[in-house]
Amino acid sequence: MLREILALASMFIKEAKAWILVNIFFLIIFPIAMIFSFRYIIAGDMIYYLISGTITFQIAITGFVAVPQTIGMDRERGRLSLMIASGVPAWAYAMTSTLVNNIMAIASGFLIIGIAALISSLGISPISIVLLLASLMAGTFQGSMIGLALAAKVRNWRLLNQLTQLLGFGLTFFAPVYFPLGAVPKYLLPLAMLEPTTYIAQAVRLSLTGSYASLIWDAATLIYGVAFAVLADKWGLG
């Protein structure tokens, strides 16, 4: 099965060149623009919120938008059926597609750090890089599992496209992603804790500062992801 999955991954990468421009824009140009534009109005340690927020946004765009839209389109065009008929389980197809989508998101995360370090002289320690990698992997897992659950539940392709965009942007800008969790009013805190991006953003920000507390948020992020993986499996993708 590993050989078949690698063949699938190779096919997806070859196919990805068709939308490479959009990928380059969202995963490279857009973050550069965000950091370049907003660093002038952000003071002191708040730069970490800008960076962790932008990385979380990337993960949200990939997990909540790209993953379900890709699976939704493949199902709509009968390709999921085609793959099942070819002996590839739906989960293997979805996970491979997800993996290819996320390789760019993880690479983009590190690119953002590099840009931030260059532009804002941000000090990043080696331990931050290790912690960040863990947070990016937990975050992309969680985002993708939510994306797969969405694709499994919402069978109307148009509705799925609309919903995923709403979620991608909504969960970035209506959650404590670009601002501290402590700034959320108490009565809105339960709502904020329901938002998956809250966990990713805290984990990424703490990992940037080299705090091991990021691992606790990583664990919560993973638990959130596993819960949605179970739902995706229950609802079924085919």
Partner 1 sequence: MELAIEVIGLRRSFGNVLALDDVSIKVSRGELVSLLGPNGAGKTTLVRHLYCELKPQSGSVKVLNENPCNRRVRLRMGVTPQEAEPYYDLSVFDNVYYAARIRGLSSHEAMMRAEDTIKHLGLLEYRDKYVMDLSGGLKRRTLIAMAVAHSPEVMVLDEPTTGLDPVARRELWELLRSLKGEGRTILLTTHYMEEAEALSDRVYFINKKVIDEGTPMELRKKFAYYYEVIDLETGKLYRVKEDEVRDFISKLNGRFEVRAPSLEDVYLEVMKNA
**Least Å distance between CB 99 and partner 1?**
15
Q: Which of 138, 139, 176 is nearest to 64 (CA)?
A: 139
Task: Pinpoint the alpha helices (H) of 86-195.
Answer: 90-120, 126-153, 157-173, 189-194
55 binds partner 1 (CB under 8 A): no
Interacting span for partner 1 (CB under 8 A) from 6-14, 127-135, 179-187, 227-235: 6-14
- The four Cα atoms 139, 143, 148, 150 give a dihedral, to 10 degrees, of 160
What is the contact mask toward partner 1 in residues 62 to 101, using x (rule: CB under 8 A)?
---------------xxx-xxxxxxxx-------------
Pick from 204, 216, 45: nearest CA to 113: 204
The verdict on 7 binding partner 1 (CB under 8 A) reads yes
The C-alpha angle 142, 30, 59, rounded to 5 degrees, equals 0
Question: Binding mask 9-48 vs partner 1 (x if CB under 8 A, - otherwise)?
Answer: -xx--xx-xx------------------------------
234 near partner 1, judged by CB under 8 A: no
Q: How far apart are CA 206 and CA 199, in angstroms?
A: 11
Instruction: Check binding of 238 to partner 1 (CB under 8 A).
Output: yes
Residues in contact with partner 1 by CB under 8 A are 3-4, 7-8, 10-11, 14-15, 17-18, 77-79, 81-88, 238
